[in-house]
Amino acid sequence: MILKEKIEAQLPEWRERVTRLVKEKGDVKVGDVTVAQVYGGMRGVKALVTDISYVDPSEGIHLRGHTIPELLEKLPKSDGAEMPLVAGLYYLLLVGEIPTMEQAREVEKEWNSRWDVPSYVYNVLRAMPADTHPMTLFSQAILSMQGESVFAKRYHEGLRKEDYWEPMLEDSLNLTAKLPAIAAFIYRLKYKDGSVIPPNPQLDLGANFAHMMGVTKKGYDELSRLYFIIHSDHESGNVSAHATHLVGSALSDIYYAASAAMNGLAGPLHGLANQECLGWLLDVYNQFGGVPTRQQLTDYAWDTLNSGKVIPGYGHAVLRKTDPRYAAQYEFAKKHLPEDEIFKLASLVYDTVPGILKEQGKAKNPWPNVDAISGTLQQHYGVKEFDFYTVMFGVSRIMGVSANAVWARALGQPIERPKSLTTPMLEKAAGL
């Protein structure tokens, strides 16, 4: 299999680099930790490593060194398609090189041979109360498949440490192949007739997702490709990536780790913000019976802030400029849905809210993040049930975190176990 061969070929050099760095320069300091950081969610503490993605505070995400606009230009596209193949992105995340069309197609082929979702997964989901949140269903579906883990099986049979990554790759391919079908089923179970639309092996992942969702509006395949590419990875410190790494570091398999990641993504300060965003936009729209005036929007935003709530989709722990993932979606909307009323509202919010957040003076970053506009695009294509949106984020995010999990195994990253202190210890260290 091409992914296995490519990773295998790189391993000797990577292992040597890392071993040398730690052995010869292990004492070199890369930063200090302050009392404020210990109490402040470890913000900015340099304590994780990944070579798959890096968030620059001004430029945003680089996936294997490429910005979002570069990726949308360079990753291979099917004939006539506007957006690249998602399989090409997964190849890039795992291998570190922009694939040729043929290489991306090989990943598609791998996914196509692994998409079959065991029927018990659907039965588990059908057995849940009808009002269960889609993210709970998604996380449960992933966890329910843990018994399928090749890593868990081979580990218990006896496996050399340097070979751990191979079954992790198998598991990751199996899981990422099934996620679009599972997500589409959750959508149809919650909001449609609950029937399963099987994937069409002739289609790529983006088009297949549109097909399995039952969305017929033209262009949803392109939006799905864009969505799954831009949400995939955002370095290691965000909650879903870190949860995957933490759980995986105990040698839990990808099903346990990815399910944990989804539980974190389901938090309103993380991935759930995308459902909150459209909710907030629709509240504004409904309150004013259409796109409000700038003054009405300003008053509404201040009411939100003064009631102690955040403005969803704005702010970021690392970014200090408009998120390029927002910009890519904004460009897509400008091209394909310029007359959509909610897009007009989202644009007005973009013109207005950063100024308000600056005036309030609390948020370190007043600019929009990836979630501020994603729901606007979804609702245009008919996917209006916004509590489903984080599930789509999850399908994409698991591509990023699983690629990281494969490399964490390949480079023998150990169990994670930072040290905690007590408040008296910190007071003493601070001389109080």
Q: Which residues bind ligand AMX (CB under 6 A)?
A: 43, 238, 269-271, 273, 305, 310-317, 362-365, 369-371
Query: How far is residue 97's CA from residue 88's CA, in Å, rounded to a whole number?
Result: 10
Q: Tabulate helix, strand, coil % of the chain (nearest 5).
A: 60, 5, 35
Question: What's the residue count for the chain?
Answer: 432
Q: How many CA atoms, within 13 angstroms, populate the side-chain half-sphere of residue 388?
A: 19
With beta carbons less than 8 A apart as the criterion, state whether 375 and 328 touch.
no
Nearest to 115 by CA among 23, 198, 50: 198
Residue 211 annotated in active site = no
Nearest to 179 by CA among 261, 105, 241, 252: 261
The one catalytic residue in 66, 231, 245, 270 is 270
Name which of 17 and 362 has its Cβ closer to ligand AMX: 362
Closest-approach residue to ligand AMX (CB): 315
Residue 234 annotated in active site = no
> What are phi and psi for residue 344, nearest 5 degrees?
-60, -40
The one catalytic residue in 316, 323, 336, 351 is 316
Name which of 57 and 290 has its Cβ closer to ligand AMX: 57
Q: What angle do CA 73, 76, 80 make, to 5 degrees?
A: 85
The one catalytic residue in 171, 221, 253, 371 is 371
Query: Measuring CA to CA, how many Å separate 365 from each of 254, 267, 353?
Result: 33, 20, 11
Return the H-helix or E-strand segment holding 60: strand 60-63
Query: How far is residue 212's CA from residue 107's CA, in Å, rounded to a whole number?
Result: 19
Residue 270 annotated in active site = yes
> What are phi and psi for residue 66, nearest 5 degrees?
-105, 135
With beta carbons less than 8 A apart as the criterion, state whether 165 and 135 touch.
no
Query: How far is residue 391's CA from residue 375's CA, in Å, rounded to a whole number?
Result: 12
> What are phi and psi for residue 61, nearest 5 degrees?
-70, 140
Q: How many CA atoms, within 13 angstroms, populate the side-chain half-sphere of residue 272?
A: 16
Q: How far is the CB of 231 from ligand AMX (least distance, A)?
A: 8
Catalytic annotation, residues:
270, 316, 371
